[in-house]
Amino acid sequence: MSKLRIAKARIIKAIPGSGGVISRITKSAGYKSWTAVRDFIQADPGLISMRRDEQEGIDDLAESGLIAAMTKGDTEIMKWWLARKRAEFNDKQSLGLTGAVTLNVVYQDKSKIE
């Protein structure tokens, strides 16, 4: 079986608009092997950089959308944002464990909460 030959120009053309998602790059470039395209990109510092830039652009787009929703008063998005950005607003608890710990967990039926 022959090894798939990938054209760098096709990958370069496929990265913009892909979100940096390998399967989208693969399909847009006209290939079928996700693994081959991933390996090809990972072997080229320029392609790694292009893909990273594309991913960061999508992250910026998502963040901009969240900010737009918050400026329109979407309190659910505001709570979600704060829970991830500000430690005092998240539900995670950090425990420094040095000995035996007993943890009792109580689950509430949210359907009965008004």
Cα-Cα-Cα-Cα dihedral sign, residues 39, 42, 43, 44: positive
Half-sphere exposure of 71 (CA within 13 A, CB side): 6
Rounded to an integer, what distance in angstroms lies between the CA atom of residue 74 and that of residue 71? Answer: 7
In the chain, where the domains are located: 8-93
Query: Are 68 and 78 spatial neighbours (Cβ–Cβ below 8 Å)?
Result: no
Query: Are 66 and 73 spatial neighbours (Cβ–Cβ below 8 Å)?
Result: no
Query: Are 5 and 33 spatial neighbours (Cβ–Cβ below 8 Å)?
Result: no
Per-10-residue mean pLDDT for the chain, 114 residues long?
81 97 97 96 97 96 95 94 81 64 69 56
Residue 39: per-residue pLDDT: 96
pLDDT single digits (tens) 22-43 = 999 999 999 999 999 999 999 9
Half-sphere exposure of 95 (CA within 13 A, CB side): 8
Residue 46: per-residue pLDDT: 97
Residue 2: per-residue pLDDT: 46
Residue 113: per-residue pLDDT: 54
